[in-house]
Structure 1
């Protein structure tokens, strides 16, 4: 399969996801260039950043809903692999699949960031329009007030005004009422604290108090809001002091956007990009992020499974996948609260023990892991046994630069593992 054929499949998958600004033929032409770059990336001869450019291009073409992300990730994880290496028996097939997963993660992360930036840009435009109309009200009251009222009532984001001297709400639009779960008619004349209620008197209210006192002119915060009916939403809230021509504060303008679905999508995409899809364990990226953030002395156990290939060959990949999931479950059970287990790929796993006291604790952990994996695994009614080889490393993060730390960990783990096999 060539780049053009891959682009056609990708464009077909995107049909129905949204009403794009381009025709089907134009979308195919757009994706053809990226398909060639992505095929090179999964073959190891190109730059994975092509996934970032592809995500930006699709957002620019008005693909802005979760379905477009979902279908694109399917193409990158399946069709792209077939295009780059169609024979699963080929020696390059496993590396191609691993690089395809990394490309899909890069695409998902870039798409999420692009969606957020596009939404925030739209919100900022709405906010700017509202503030411009409010400032013009002092100089050209009649005309500018009419314009502001049109924006105020018809805006898809919530807008409200607050008297800066009393802290009481002056007016809100229907979008604001929907976001807070309070009828619009019930808010004017009440204080912000009264409307929010005790459940929401957190960081947002503290920022609001700073506005009223004159300590700051504006703030923006993303906060979890509990409605009166006990349902919750994630609200992106911006508040700004509006001043007259002499610079005196007159009132506050607040803008709210319900970002619950976008936040859920971002969280889901982040989880998918940082966790192994088969076992649910952290992947290589998240593991090394946690290793980088660790302080003091850390212990690392690197292990791969003995006899796993025979299970795959004799009982099939479905049985092999079940064993990997069971291994992941046993690793989670065996680890202390300060431990993190991750899957690097294939039958390779790695464990991080933060605040490790020394070689003895690390050796005990390795023994517990081996003991946890010692019992037979039940697969399709049959009992199979899987062993493990473990290499360990003890590293002091306080005296080791991050790049050196990763190098030390890799070197020590593979050295210990090689020594174990020689014995």
Structure 2
């Protein structure tokens, strides 16, 4: 029986958009966890409570969904003209590892408030009332995010009347600008890595589907809902209880990962569950959101549903929303076709929890599509702050130089 004491680590539990996660300052982590590696991952996996064969995260801070099994490490900026570095980790519920391959667009909205409250932003730049602009270096993908954080009486304003579908209560609005969101760092390449707006994607056991493979915000493969036997109005139970459909979607995701150059064999997709995302789209239609709120076809440009960590997301990932807006702005993509074609700089789409409007500035430069900026609004709030307790034995094997 282990008698090692628990580690006590300062931390903040935050909601950002339709996600929530555990935020750490790099300097507060134990020395062995201040550098990337197995020891850090083992610590953070245990913080969340994974792997959990019961799928509940009862013995950790995770919420047993992809939206709530997240960790964030904040540190001083490594790039000039930025206020903070933001590193994001997705923890699988049943997996004993962390996927560091992408960003969380929803939690991005909580980084600015955290940075201000924890002294990463020069106090002289924080107005007594108004908005504080925080330049964030997204370290996973090497991109800049600009957050416009409301401030009241010199403190981050968290309460307000901004409503975000997928979040039960209103809060203060935070506008996010994702600058040059295409090209995902070391895994990247062009916005359309295959060079085509639409691909004939041959998927073993599924068949050939038309798909748009795009790097914008996050790598995503988009397919038509009809090709899956769906209509785009589905809510979580209809997808997450259909094991055959989930397996088909995972096969599409794995095949797309190879075509996008993210992995060299479909067998490696399971070790990289965070990216690429797979999503399906359809023309507008009336439906009732998970909250019971009716969504009218006349109020949206298209329907979109996205899979996160093997399950249908309850709303929409922020980074996938960037990809939706970008693809919708480019004539000929699967997403643009679902939205009725033509060029546009903003799109409102229907998701399982309601609707979301996202803007994207895309342009054709000598036959190559680029996107300079994507914009959306989110909200964020501190849920709890204090210290996380982590059983010492969770990382002792790595700290002592042995393995599990």
Given the two structures, how large is their TM-score scaled by the length of structure 2?
A: 0.28
Higher helix share: 1
Given the two structures, how large is their TM-score scaled by the length of structure 1?
A: 0.27
Higher relative contact order (CA 8 A, sep 6+): 2
Higher strand share: 2
